[in-house]
């Protein structure tokens, strides 16, 4: 392989800078989405606390209703028991016993309902504590993630500034201004990939086979040559020599 044309070497180096710039720019561009994802995690955790509190309020209200119904049933039972001492006939006595039995059944049933509601209230209160503890953990994790994100974005910003300076300095060394213009145009239109290798007669980026004459010219690395298909600037690096025996068959 012939030595690389100096401007071609510079363009290859510029391509490496552009690739690094694109990576740094992506980090900066992704900050709002990553920030939004962190905010969404916090919102979800806060919503879970609010949901737990709403569930507790509903269960607590149902428990109060159960207490009211239970107290009313006990009051009816007590009233019928008091009336039991005032009856004068067997018929009245039988009737009051029936009322007492019915009221006692209501008290027993409502007592069971009240116990269930009390258990549910206790479980709902525990769920609030669990959701609040989870929220604290999430908020602590998000605070750490935001700090790391800010540091990453700041580092990427500084890296981008340094790369911009490196790019400007290197671009100023390119003697072939037409080649630099082609490079800059390709960077804009081909999304950061402007200079690629030709490998095995193919453009390594668009994978279109080069005409034999073009590939032969590219192999010389003595001029700025472009892929006929994607227009990217091409260069050639010879493959490493095969070790002895690589081409020999196995026994």
Q: Return the closest-CA partner of residue 63 out of 109, 128, 114, 122.
A: 114
pLDDT given at position 191: 79
pTM across the whole model: 0.70
Per residue in 89-126, pLDDT (tens digit) is 899 889 989 999 999 999 999 999 999 999 999 999 99
Res. 189: pLDDT tops 80: yes
Q: Which band of pLDDT confidence, cut at 50, 70 and 90, is reported for residue 246?
A: low
Instruction: Tell me the average pLDDT across 44-63.
Output: 96
pLDDT given at position 248: 46
What domains lie within the chain, and their CATH numbers? 24-171 (1.10.287.1490), 177-235 (no CATH)
pLDDT given at position 249: 44
pLDDT given at position 8: 96
CA 12 to CA 190: how far, in whole Å? 15
Query: What is the Cα 200 distance to its own chain's centre?
Result: 40
Q: How do 225-226 and 195-199 pair as beta strands?
A: unpaired
Percent with pLDDT over 90 in the chain: 86
pLDDT given at position 84: 87
* Token pair for 135: 């929220």
pLDDT given at position 250: 40
Q: Mind giving me the DSSP string for 202-223?
A: EETTT-PBPPHHHHHHHHHT-S
Q: Which band of pLDDT confidence, cut at 50, 70 and 90, is reported for residue 2?
A: low
Give 203's contacts (C-beta < 8 A, 6+ positions apart). Answer: 196, 210, 227, 229, 230, 232, 234
β partners of residue 89:
none
């Amino acid at each position: 392989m012939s030595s690389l044309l100096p401007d071609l070497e510079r363009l290859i180096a510029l391509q490496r800078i552009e690739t690094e710039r694109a990576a740094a720019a992506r980090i900066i561009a992704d900050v709002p989405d990553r920030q939004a994802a962190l905010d969404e995690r916090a919102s979800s955790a806060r919503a879970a606390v609010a949901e737990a509190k709403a569930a507790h309020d509903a269960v607590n209200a149902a428990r109060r209703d159960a207490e009211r119904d239970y107290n009313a049933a006990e009051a009816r039972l007590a009233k019928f028991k008091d009336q039991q001492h005032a009856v004068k006939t067997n018929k009245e006595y039988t009737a009051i016993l029936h009322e007492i039995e019915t009221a006692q059944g209501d008290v027993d049933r409502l007592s069971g309902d009240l116990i269930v509601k009390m258990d549910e209230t206790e479980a709902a209160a525990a769920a609030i504590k669990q959701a609040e503890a989870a929220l604290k953990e999430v908020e602590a994790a998000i605070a750490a993630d935001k700090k790391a994100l800010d540091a990453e974005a700041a580092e990427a910003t500084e890296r981008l500034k340094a790369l911009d300076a490196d790019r400007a300095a290197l671009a100023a060394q390119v003697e072939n201004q037409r080649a630099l213009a082609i490079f800059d145009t390709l960077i804009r239109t081909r999304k950061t990939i402007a200079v690629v290798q030709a490998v095995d007669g193919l453009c390594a980026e668009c994978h279109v086979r080069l005409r034999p004459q073009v590939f032969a010219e590219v192999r010389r690395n003595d001029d700025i040559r472009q892929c006929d298909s994607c227009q990217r600037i091409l260069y050639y690096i010879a493959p490493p020599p095969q070790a002895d025996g690589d081409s020999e068959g196995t026994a």
